[in-house]
Structure 1
């Protein structure tokens, strides 16, 4: 069964540097890193010490709040260093990889005949559970909470996002196994959203409800799809799983291996030859960034897309959930009278001295300049033009800033995640950090309400 979802509000940001449909194997990283900060509100408890040998899939640490949620090594090798920050908080775990991976053997399962308890036990033991997130709060799902539905977005509309049909071509068997297994974990439906003209990678899936999504960004955000299909109300929980993570879950079920392989799109106007690379979670991004070459030296490397990704060093490591690495010019220069002249080379949701609306198909080469400074909120009405959820964006942002829990609940805080406010942050004339404001609000609700 297929259902159509059409999004009218939003803004498609067309940038130069889209990845060519070419897939190469990235040179193997010498070291891999796991950053506990990738797992929001998780306090890690180490189970191994520096110098210990690891197999791919061995447990490295677990959540201090819930010992059943485990985090596994993406490669086999030696744990060489546990880096700590203030108050001895673990900031990074470094693993020196062996030339070839040796996998820890887990039991394989037939998702068609296995029950929910067995599937959940395998996902928890293997370290695949962190791929399952929940709303409200946009954190790793609590294993003891039953979701009313599970949502998977196989259609990405973020700037220069990876083409999931291309990246996951040939992985139909693993994806189907994962979707079938997830369908056992909820009494509701597994909702899979694809773009119009999607390939058979997703369009022929069984044991799910298929939705066809069209419209500008953020049509591909799972939060937008949840709002249009089955919104989250107080007391309800839904789970979300990223499309690429389905492959890891499916391969675990079919083979018993935790194979943390990733197909990463290296994109951006500063990349000489943007294309796709096959690598692993936590790899050094320099292995493929420098393989493609850079157009300039002064660049910003982002693990993720340009709206929601995390700035990393050019010699940093791929984020746990990232399937895109964006490289764009570093905006550390200033334009003379940039505020008082017509703008032809930037994209804008406004028509005040800007002309991007006249060229909807034009692609832009943008840098990291914010083109303004932080100031108090200005009431422009622009947020509502790019925000497709049935929520007042400015009001909910202000409620988070003043920590008004009642107002946050009433305005729909249970539905949202920081990425849902990436576009409002992009067009904000006040240069307010919308995503961080929402994250702080969600953390407060999690602490006070749970």
Structure 2
């Protein structure tokens, strides 16, 4: 520690260890694993036994509300279950389902936001404090600038200069990104930043393109 170009950290999931043991004991591959089905659009969130890389429509049949966006993996770092991508990702242990809501809401910027989440407490929900928030596919606006307001540092557990690292990733400055701690991050570490301003997929694509 820390991870760098000459020091590689290998990881393995507990279900992968089970699969290795199963192969050694039974001499054939384990084709199923335990995954979670969760999200505000799921009638009964639960753990289910699923075939590895199985069809998501079959796994979720009769378990979701209409008008749902189904995602293999988490809502912050997963792929939408659409068309040829309608399968459970090999490394995913979660299927998420959230309301698929249009992004364009008339005069949305004038709304008090009694049911909207905000890290910067710009909505009235900061005072009403609802017991929970129902998140959907709306991003409540377009792309935004990277502004160092301190929120990034509060949600990223690493002791790094977050705004500077994000800017280096976006502009493709590999050397600067490595110096600022890029190699210590997994794509999921950038996930919570999606709540604020940036497009996570853009960041992760930049990060993978540099390594």
Select the residue among 391, 395, 407 that pairs with 2:176. 407
Q: CA deviation at 1:300?
A: 0.7
Shift of 1:413: 1.5
Change (3 A) 1:406 1:334: closer
The answer to whether the aligner puts 1:347 opposite 2:113 as a matched pair is no
Identify the residue that residue 192 of structure 1 maps to in structure 2.
none
Which structure has greater strand proportion?
1
2:151 matched residue in structure 1: 382
Give the superposed CA RMSD.
2.2
Q: Does 1:273 align with 2:44?
A: yes
- Displacement after TM superposition at 1:325 (Å): 0.8
CA distance in 2, matches of 1:283, 1:249: 20
**Unaligned residue ranges in structure 2 (runs of 5+):** none
Distance 1:282-1:434 versus aligned 2 partners, 3 A rule: closer
CA distance in 1 between partners of 2:49 and 2:202 (Å) = 31
> Does the aligned pair in 2 maintain the 1:397–1:434 contact within 8 Å?
no
What are structure 1's unaligned runs of at least 5 residues?
1-229
Which has more helix, going by share of residues? 2
Of 101, 105, 123, the residue aligned with 1:331 is: 101
Match of 1:416 in 2: 185
1:269 positional shift: 1.8
Q: Which region of structure 1 is more displaced relative to structure 2, 245-254 or 322-331? A: 245-254
**Displacement of 1:234 after TM fit?**
3.9
Q: Normalized against structure 2, the TM-score is what? A: 0.88
One of 251, 256, 260 as aligned partner of 2:27: 256
More displaced 10-residue stretch of structure 1: 266-275 or 416-425: 266-275
Q: Distance in 2 between matches of 1:354 and 1:393?
A: 28
Whether contact under 8 Å (1:421, 1:435) holds in the other structure is no
1:426 and 1:301 map into 2 onto residues whose CA distance is 19
SS in 1 for 2:157: coil
| Number of residues of Structure 1 aligned to a counterpart in Structure 2 | 210
* C-alpha separation in 1, matches of 2:23 and 2:6: 32
Q: Is the 8 A contact 2:36 2:93 kept in 1?
A: yes
- Aligned residues of 2:101 and 2:137 also touching (Cα < 8 A): yes
Query: TM-score, normalised to structure 1's length?
Result: 0.44
SS at match of 1:287: helix
